[in-house]
Structure 1
Amino acid sequence: MHILLVGAGLSGAVIGRQLAEAGHQITIVEARGHVAGNCHTERDDETGVMVHVYGPHIFHTDDAEVWDYVNRYETFKPYKNRVKTTSQGQVFSLPINLHTINQYFGKTMRPEEARTFIAEEQADTTIEDPQTFEEQALRFVGRDLYEAFFKGYTIKQWGVHPSELPASILKRLPVRFNYDDNYFFHRFQGMPENGYTAMVERILDHPSITVHLNVRFTRDKAGDYDHVFYAGPLDGWFDYELGRLGYRTLDFERFTHDGDYQGCAVMNYGEEAVPYTRITEHKHFSPWESHEGSVCYREFSRACEPDDIPYYPIRQVKEKALLADYVKLAEKARGVTFVGRLGTYRYLDMDVTIREALDTAAVFLDKGAETPAFVKPPL
């Protein structure tokens, strides 16, 4: 078959490669001038630093098959994400761990002492069934830690008060009663030695794959192909006829520094008075390299406008209702499968994106033209 993939990010690249290896002809169109989507990386000409152009992406997974897959196309070097946060005039370690708790409260508690202290002296046990983000935080860590590390950051990130967000956003409250400051808990964690773009370029390097950059897809082109995998915005496929799904977008204020600016890759700013959510220093994402100069991003979150890059699907009550209407439209469509973060209006980590792309390709190889609009339902 001749198959069209809209988007040259992880979803399009992985599906395209799997189907090309099975004998299909693959055409990929990408609106931007590069592959790899939002995990695009490039060398900074001035400093030589590998820059995560759309913000940092750290690979972490428990999926051994996905880990083997990415290592087939790029060498992944060991990397642990150790986040710091500036709050109330001090620098603390995140996620909240025993060091954070002892430092914040000026104590030297052992694990069980800290667990008891948080449960009996800090947590708001009057909240039996937390319904909001704020209630969830107050129930499990109490007001002091909530206001120092969660409240201001969340208001900046989501543009609403935590009392208006569902508790599900904070499902697994990141609190550790030991000194482990590794932000993630997955078995496999690392960074691609030569960046994500080099990895995606290798995935796409197949004689049956043709990639066209700087090409905007229009739905009238779909009829030229036997099947379309669409990784663009779900509402965009339908020309936003029911309205636009809500996203948060990011603005980056890039600056360079001679030397080491902050001593870590990610420094959060938990206070609402600081307008940015965090500063990322990109050379620390490649600790095996050495650079005198440094490239940093101040990161600002705001509501996504039509011409902005959509980052985080909001998925609140209003958006979910509109999403349900678009899903009904999509399920009536023929010859198209919606994939990835934008196509299914879900926040997906890179490993989950790759896993779903592998699964989607397997479904197509089994069902062909009968492949449904969603292999992974958005609702």
Structure 2
Amino acid sequence: MDILLVGAGLSGAVIARELAEAGHRCTVIDGRPHVAGNCHTERDPATGVMVHVYGPHIFHTADAGVWDYVNRHMTFRPYRHQVRTTVGDRVYSMPINLLTINQFFGTAMRPDEAAAFIKAKAEPIADPQSFEEQALAFVGREIYEAFFKGYTEKQWGTSPQNLPASILKRLPLRFSYDDNYFAHPFQGMPERGYTEMVESILDHPGIDVHVSTVFQPEMASRYGHVFWSGPLDGWFGYDLGRLGYRTLDFERFEGQGDWQGCAVMNYGDADMPFTRITEHKHFAPWEEHGDSVLYREFSRACGAEDIPYYPIRLVEEKALLGDYVSRADGEEGVTFVGRLGTYRYLDMDVTIREALDTAGAFLAAQKAGTAMSAVVKAPL
């Protein structure tokens, strides 16, 4: 079968490779002038630094199969992600751990003492519904207002009272000095960048790649099936309205030597307009560079011409999402995949796992002579 995959990010690349290896002819298109989507990396010609063009992407997973898969296409070097945050005129360790607690309160508590101390600070909210309630029940008001309130308002453009508790539940609280941002057993960075890894995945005689190629609706009729990793609402021409996203603006600047001493420095104060500064050479600690490339990162509402990054998924968006999902379920000849296609925040490893599973479901449907589902992983 001739198959069209719209989007040359991880979803499109992995599905194309699996189907091409099974004998299908795959055409992959992308409106941008490169593959790899938002995890696109490129070598800065002036400094030699490998730059994460659309912001940092850290690979971490507990899925051994996915870890093996990416390492077949690129050598992954050890990388331990550590984050710091500036609040007021002091720098703290993140995520919240024993050092953060002792720094913030000017104490020297042991783990058991700190656990009891934070428990006493936590507010008795039995069933937290909002981000704010979850934080208050989690760490108490002082830590919440210092480390989470201002940063979250900048990141999401709304009060933490309007955000679901689930956003905070992803963040750890540790009563040890472990400041490893992720706890997954497999963590690393691709030695020569994500774009070269995705190029390797797409390197198959059964795959034809066209970048700088915008999807046109009439293209679908030329193929036996379409895998759509663009915005779910975009498939329908946004005719019910646009789903809400946050987008990012980057203010690039260069420095000499080690400019900030870490890969990511968050800024928790609400009056600091950017959320964080990323220093890209720290994402490849095995390399040495005299100069440095840095991004100041600003979050704002996503407009029609902007790159969508984070689905908002608040009450209004979920209602609209339900309408689009109902329409998607009735579509034939197309499967919606990936972060945009299913309107979900997905880490890279989950994106790859779902792409592998989607390709497997398609091949199974072909073998059984049944129709392929429009949505393999339900957005709701």
Q: Could you state the TM-score of these two structures normalised by the residue count of structure 1?
A: 0.99
Report the counterpart of residue 302 of structure 1 in structure 2: 300
Counterpart of 1:352 in structure 2 is 350
The letter for the 1-side match of 2:65 is E
What corresponds to 2:100 in structure 1?
Answer: 100
Q: Which runs of 5+ in 2 are unaligned?
A: none
Distance 1:173 1:240 in 2: 33
Report what 1:54 is aligned to.
54
Show the counterpart of 1:80.
80
Identity %: 71
| 8 Å Cα contact 1:137/1:173 also seen in 2 | no
Contact 2:95 2:171 in 1 (8 A): no
Structure 1 Cα separation of the partners of residues 43 and 282 of structure 2: 14
> 1:325 corresponds to which letter in structure 2?
D
What's the counterpart of residue 290 of structure 1?
Answer: 288
Give the TM-score, by structure 2 length. Answer: 0.98
Q: Which amino acid aligns with 1:98?
A: L
Task: Give 2:374's aligned amino acid.
Answer: A
> Where does the alignment leave 5 or more consecutive residues of structure 1 unmatched?
none
1:180 counterpart residue number: 178
Q: What whole-Å deviation, never above 9, does each CA across 1:228-257 have from its counterpart, x for those lacking one?
A: 000000100000010000000000000011
Helix, strand or coil at the partner of 1:116: helix
AA aligned opposite 1:338: F
For 1:312 and 1:26, the matched residues in 2 are separated by 28
* Superposition map of 1:1-379 within 5 A: 1-120=1-120, 122-125=121-124, 127-368=125-366, 370-379=371-380
The letter for the 2-side match of 1:340 is G
Q: Which amino acid aligns with 1:83?
A: V
Give 1:277 deviation, angstroms.
0.2
Question: In the aligned structure 1, how far is the partner of 2:178 from the partner of 2:309?
Answer: 29
Helix, strand or coil at the partner of 1:364: helix
Q: Number of paired residues?
A: 377
Deviation at 1:173, TM superposition (A): 4.4
Counterpart of 1:158, as a letter, is W
What secondary structure sits across from 2:11 in the alignment?
Answer: helix
CA contact (8 A) 2:248 2:299 kept: yes
* Aligned mates of 1:193, 1:294 — CA distance in 2: 18
SS of residue in 2 equivalent to 1:175? coil
CA distance in structure 1 between the partners assigned to 2:272 and 2:100 by the alignment: 21
Task: Name the amino acid aligned to 1:43.
Answer: R
Moved over 6 A (4+): none
| CA root-mean-square deviation | 0.7
- 1 CA distance for matches of 2:208 and 2:37? 17
